[in-house]
Structure 1
């Protein structure tokens, strides 16, 4: 089928967005491609259409189970053959999937699964035409830290397999890291753009809870981000006395997290108090407000998270509740999470570190000489420290906020510094009394194409 026939017959579209067209045309040249598109810019179609047109089979690496399942459910809705493999599947489910893997055109998995012997033996038997890496910035941002299996992806890429990496979040360092760690030279297609429909503001209120409560009366569907799971739960407990919402963080079960996503997507709750994992794969176009209770770790993280507002192109707002004391939490988390030179020396001398640190250091040593490992650890620490300082500058509101995020013009029409404080009145949340659609969602995952 032609591009036009695939668009019309499968997706129900008459044409591509200009940014999507540029990315797809680059992929169809056969080059390995790194595509940078804004949040909500239609990244999934950019890899799906070329795979379908080539009658190929793609291995799609994604960082979160929720992201996998969201995309698999959507592909199955389109009657396309897709499946995901993750740790929450039981042995029988995995056995059935392995047995039928040749029947699927899109196979979703995590980098951790790809590091297992079973996965490598299975993948080696598949006739894969494409390796797709969704949220590709994770290779750089997470690969050196708590998700080191991203550093092993290059071992899966075989000759003749085209690499398609996609992300909305990248700076020059991340782009270099993606090329170096995948050991490929990817053609860069940068179609990111400033989200001018999102009004940016910073609030330094001494009472963050009171500020959030005043916002929720007119905020529309809202995400409130936290760096602390404890504070996330505490604030939700206080807000839930007046508003209908839920929490989302890593300590929750898979089933509970799915329930939160479905409730939010279905407009059955007003807000979600969440840590940074929430939002990837949550294809909700009408989020009107994104609030950051704590200052995030970097401008790139902030851009990605505020980009979950206003994906329908309508007006939205992003508010940072800035407090210098919060930066101490961020600095402490950085100290706790990063691998130090001391950790590396202890490891070389046979000391028993935590299992997580042992695995991270083992993978780093497999990819770099010992002297280079130390350089990598130092560079990553200082990069993250600099990123925190840049977010502190943003929080102190001394220049155009949009310029500080996007490095564009020094004056804009959509930030508090340039336009003054704005008060938005979005549609008041109305509780929708519907049957929980988890059953329909789960059925969609097993719908035959």
Structure 2
């Protein structure tokens, strides 16, 4: 293991930090000990620094699987500015630059290589990873909650990451795998360990509670009322912020309406090209745009400390997305107000939230129906590359999770059984409904959902706690650590 003084020297030289904040030191020691890890640290705790420092102090390359091109490019750009040997590979990369990156990988001149799961398993990249001189020090799955929450819906290649290590162990010593995320409830942690084939992983966790982040929920009674409440919020809350929506279409429609109300803003979503995303990020980070209207594609890995408010124009699908998105606010320790607008509970006056949830539920049912049909037609043994459509590849993931299919290697699968069993999992909306409907402390609901216990104490900052305090009810505030 590296001498700790050497680690501190690298930290100061390349990042300008005199010391690590707990539990960063524990994470770094675990990675240097070549042990698998599951790291759950809130937004702003410096998760990426942990694996970046570790990779820098070793020879060979650490592979970092990241869900978004923007996230990869942002982190690599920062590493380049520090003159550190890092690169990324993705579908939008210039062919000449891609060729140079692959040559650097082959020559062992990289310490960090960022890429998505689809790129990782692409024939050309896989061929380079199999070169005998390429030394792999570890696999980092960044924003690992997306493996569970996105891998089952439209990123099926995530489900094959656990096959990477056994497929490359012929090259020498097996490398460690570490999953990093800001949010993972106990079920998500269990599914991550299974999907990545983590071996007795070190679990390093810090609860997500943020004393400076005030959680608020407001009922809306119509489409017009939702917009009126958004307008009042924007007028009352100054400073930099974010408005989250569920879909690109919602974002574009809302941006057009806000511009008609003389607000200068723009829509950020995953369908934008790289240049447009960079332009919008810079405009927001530099204060040229006070706020962006964005989908969940925005925010991961982007560091703007002084975000003073976060508004959810519609509720996100689950508490994982919610905590991820409100966590963009108040990273400097300053006060941040989070407001979520939700349809009135009957759905009679404003059925939009209910209709939106029904649509996503229907999408899941469609995937399961496709998996059931595919189970009847797949050969006993098959190749992933012969599965023609993205929908069928997602369906393969459903069959894998059901135990009907197993992988022999990252590219070849085998049918274990053809008997269809009812495919059920907890409804992610139940957690969100609990947060919306509680009359108690909203942070307590989040803590319990993510598996943390804090007695009957309250936060003192959410809307319910503030109402209880103003009415004279006794409050036992949470002790902030």
Q: Could you tell me the TM-score, scaled by structure 2's length? A: 0.81
- Which whole-Å CA distance do the structure 1 matches of 2:365 and 2:82 have between them? 42
Q: Could you tell me which of 54, 76, 79 is aligned with 1:75? A: 79
Mapped contact 1:284–1:311 kept (Cα < 8 A):
yes
Aligned to 2:447: 406
Tell which deviates more after alignment, 403-412 or 339-348: 339-348
- How far apart are residue 134 of structure 1 and its match? 0.4
- Which whole-Å CA distance do the structure 2 matches of 1:275 and 1:401 have between them? 23
Tell which deviates more after alignment, 409-418 or 282-291: 409-418
Q: CA RMSD in A?
A: 2.4
Q: Indicate the structure whose relative CO is greater, using CA pairs within 8 Å and at least 6 residues apart.
A: 1
Mapped contact 2:218–2:339 kept (Cα < 8 A):
yes
Mapped contact 1:223–1:289 kept (Cα < 8 A):
yes
Aligned to 1:357: 391
Q: Could you tell me which of 130, 142, 163 is aligned with 1:134? A: 142
Aligned to 1:183: 197
- Which whole-Å CA distance do the structure 2 matches of 1:193 and 1:348 have between them? 40
Give the unaligned 5+ runs of structure 1.
423-449
- How far apart are residue 409 of structure 1 and its match? 4.6
Q: Secondary structure at the match of 1:312?
A: coil
Aligned to 1:347: 374
The 1:116–1:366 alpha-carbon spacing in structure 2 relative to 1, beyond 3 Å, is farther
Matches within 5 A, 1:231-380: 231-240=250-259, 241-323=261-343, 324=345, 325=351, 326-350=353-377, 355-362=389-396, 364=400, 365-367=405-407, 369=415, 371=417, 378-379=423-424
> Rg: which structure is higher?
2
Answer yes or no: is 1:197 the counterpart of 2:212: yes
Count of residue pairs brought into register by the alignment: 417
Tell which deviates more after alignment, 401-410 or 294-303: 401-410
Matches within 5 A, 1:148-159: 148-157=156-165, 158-159=168-169
Mapped contact 2:370–2:392 kept (Cα < 8 A):
no
Q: Secondary structure at the match of 1:18?
A: coil
Q: Secondary structure at the match of 2:23?
A: helix
Answer yes or no: is 1:210 the counterpart of 2:224: no
Mapped contact 1:202–1:397 kept (Cα < 8 A):
no
Mapped contact 1:120–1:156 kept (Cα < 8 A):
no
- Which whole-Å CA distance do the structure 1 matches of 2:180 and 2:72 have between them? 15
Aligned to 2:437: 396
Tell which deviates more after alignment, 340-349 or 61-70: 340-349
Answer yes or no: is 1:119 the counterpart of 2:125: yes
- How far apart are residue 340 of structure 1 and its match? 4.5
- Which whole-Å CA distance do the structure 2 matches of 1:318 and 1:281 have between them? 19
Give the unaligned 5+ runs of structure 2.
346-350, 379-386, 408-413, 449-453, 470-481
Q: Could you tell me which of 465, 468, 472 is aligned with 1:418? A: 465
- Which whole-Å CA distance do the structure 1 matches of 2:247 and 2:146 have between them? 21
Q: Could you tell me the TM-score, scaled by structure 1's length? A: 0.87
- How far apart are residue 374 of structure 1 and its match? 5.1
Aligned to 2:451: none
